Amino acid sequence: MSGNFVEKLVKLAGECGIEIDPEKAKLLGIFKDEIVEWNKRINLTAIVDEEQFIVKHIIDSLIILKKIDFHSGAKLVDVGTGAGFPGVPVKIMRQDLVVLLMDSSRKKTEFLKHAVKKLGLQRTDVLCARAEEAAKSGGYREMYDAAVARAVSGLNTLVELCLPLVKVGGIFIAMKGEDPGSEIEEALGAADILGGRIGNVIPYELPGGIKRHLIVVEKIKNTPEKFPRRPGMPQKKPIHLKISIEKEGD
C-alpha cells in the first residue's frame, strides 16, 4: 500500500461525511493492493489510478452505509459484485452484517475467496452463480434483508435478478448514475410484477462532482414462482409491460 493511501482515503471519505478509522482504512488498503496484484492476471477493474480507485470504488461503495440504515446482523447480497463492489468495502466497515458476494464469473469469485480470507472477514460467503439460478434455490430465495447491485444491468433487468432474493419487507438498492429517470420509468411495471415498488431515489455526489443515485426498491409482496425466468432471459427480454409477460408465460 502506498504510504499516503490511508491519508488520502480518510480525507476524501471525510469530504462525503464518511468517517473511517485507521484500522478499517488499512484493511481497505490491503483489499486495493490485492485487486492491483490480481489485476495483472485477470481483469478485475479498469480503474487503477489510486485517487480514482478511492473515489469510484471505495467511497462510492460506502455511500450506501451513509444513506441506508441497516440493522445489526442484517443479511445483504451483492449481486454481480465483480471485484467486490460494493460488498467488500461495506463489509469491512460494518462487520456485523452477514454478506453474500455473488458473481457468475469463476475468476472473480476465486479472487473474492482469496480476498475474504486475506482480510479475515467473518460471516462473508462467496458464491459463483448467476442470480437467476441462485434465486431458484431455497437457500437464497427471499432470504435477504437487502440486495444491492452496481454496474450490472438496466433497472428493469436488475429487479428480476435481485427482488427474488429479497424477503418481503426488505429492499433492493440499485446504484445508478446521474440521470436514472428513464430507467426508473421503464422498470415500474417489472418491479410491480416481481413484488416490488420503487421507493426513495437518493441523489449523492462523490468528490470531483460526480453525481449518482441510489434507487431503493421495496419488496412488498412475494415474487411469483415463475420469476426469475431462465438464465439470460432477464437481460435478453426485460419485463416491459404486464401484458407482454402474461402472454409470453416464460
Site of interaction with ligand SAM (CB under 6 A):
79-83, 85, 102-105, 108, 130-132, 150-152, 161
Is 5 annotated in a binding site? The answer is no
DSSP per residue, 67-122:
HS-PPTT-EEEEET-TTTTTHHHHHHH-TTSEEEEEES-HHHHHHHHHHHHHHT-S
Nearest distance in Å: CB 127, ligand SAM: 9
Strand 210-219 to 166-176 pairing: antiparallel
Is 85 annotated in a binding site? The answer is yes
Nearest distance in Å: CB 126, ligand SAM: 12
Is 135 annotated in a binding site? The answer is no
Is 61 annotated in a binding site? The answer is no
Is 138 annotated in a binding site? The answer is no
Q: Which is nearer to ligand SAM, 4 or 52 (CB)?
A: 52
Nearest distance in Å: CB 199, ligand SAM: 21
Q: Which is nearer to ligand SAM, 103 or 218 (CB)?
A: 103
Nearest distance in Å: CB 243, ligand SAM: 25
Q: Which is nearer to ligand SAM, 34 or 103 (CB)?
A: 103
From CA 90, how far away is CA 98, in angstroms rounded? 11
Question: Quick count: other Cβ atoms within 10 Å of Cβ 202?
Answer: 16
From CA 243, how far away is CA 250, in angstroms rounded? 13
Cα angle value 59/12/92 (rounded, 5°): 40
Binding residues: 80, 85, 103-105, 131-132, 150
Binding residues for S-adenosyl-L-methionine: 80, 85, 103-105, 131-132, 150
